[in-house]
Amino acid sequence: MSTRCFRRVLCALLLPVLLTGRAAALGTSAASAVLMEQESGRVLYAQNADEKRLIASITKIMTAVVALEEGDLQADYTVTAEDMAEGSSMYLKPGDVLTLEELLYGLMLVSGNDAALAVAHCVAGDEASFVAMMNETAERLGMEQSFFCNPNGLDAEGLDAEGHGSSARDMAVLTAYALQNETFRRIVSTASITIGERYLANHNKLLRLYEGCIGVKTGFTKAAGRTLVSAAEREGMTLICVTLSDGDDWNDHMSLLDYGFSTYDMMTAVPAGQALASTLVENGTVPLITLGPDRDLACPVAEGECLTVTVSAPASVSAPVVPGQALGTASLWLDGTCVATVDLVALEPSAVYTPPEKEKGFFARILGR
């Protein structure tokens, strides 16, 4: 691929969006808070968003993500004495046999600390190996203020780089990622379920209190205080709210979500597959291919905001090129800040050009080349 790239502003794309019901000035009782739109990752409200704090049981969002990506949902697990834990519980007993999926319901609905240990043992064989997976996932997702010492969120020593904790922004990033998994969405949005003789009712009251709520997780320890991650969906926009150490979290989440839905509309600047750029193909069967976003380039927009689109792509690439191959990026910008980015992919193929026999030179034909 050529190292020469071009980057150009396409247009001032969006006219001001007229909205009603603007929320009043915001404030929360939380030590840290974030309101983020899932698809673009645009942060709509932040309060000490990058401060690392104890996070209690919202840790279990990461536990569920690792289990869903590394485990077999239908795998049977026999509970042992090593799975017993203090605090909130699914009331497992040694000898109980449950599937990993059933343990995940106990993890996310009733915040079972015992379920968290059982999940770790089921997936990785031992807690330390599972926690290593959690930290590897955090690093992959760019969660710079996060480190995990256990799968349940029980307070660990200290808040240094090696202490158990995270930031509001990191937990929003993790939740945005987790909600892409349909099984995760199904579990965290379940109000109640019966597993064997166990009736599990979701601790997240926002599922009942807030229109469009789809989860996600509550948490509490004396040291961390009340922690809460919620998500709600309305008219094609999913908002994620995170508060850490918040004594009035239910009301704060409803206020922040109300603010987001009343102030912003989800706008698609460029739909998936629309041609945005082109690039030359070296030694290809076609001289030029077009590039378009692999998914909608969209973000929430408030009244009066005008966004611009920029494209960054190589001036030329080498054949072969296949449809869907990532070759650049397209970004939305607001006041010098990037608020959304998607990959630009090839919209059509170009194979390697092979000259017909008659175009080959005399000696090439003799040598069979």
Show which residues are catalytic. 57, 60, 111
71, two tokens? 């485990």
Instruction: Assess contact for 181 and 174: CB atoms under 8 A.
Output: no
217, two tokens? 């997780």
Determine what percent of the chain falls in helix, strand and coil, rounding each to the nearest 5: 25, 35, 40
Report the alpha-carbon distance of residue 9 to residue 18 in Å, rounded: 25
Query: If 0-12 CB within 10 Å is exposed, 13-18 middle and 19+ buried, where does residue 194 land?
Result: exposed
Which residue's entry shows tokens 């990532």?
A: 326
DSSP string, 269-284: EE-TT---EEEEEETB
Instruction: Assess contact for 235 and 266: CB atoms under 8 A.
Output: yes
299, two tokens? 């973000």
Q: Helix 100-109 crosses helix 60-70 at what angle (to 10 degrees)?
A: 160
Q: Helix 127-140 crosses helix 113-124 at what angle (to 10 degrees)?
A: 90
Residue 326, CA atoms < 13 Å, CB-side half-sphere: 7
Q: Strand locations in 254-318, DSSP E?
A: 264-270, 277-282, 288-293, 297-302, 308-314, 316-318
Instruction: Assess contact for 174 and 143: CB atoms under 8 A.
Output: yes
Q: Which sign, positive or negative, has the C-alpha torsion 177, 180, 186, 191?
A: positive
Which residue, among 179, 202, 228, 289, has the nearest Cα to 31 in the 3D structure? 228
Other beta carbons within 10 Å of 139: 12
Report the alpha-carbon distance of residue 242 to residue 264 in Å, rounded: 18
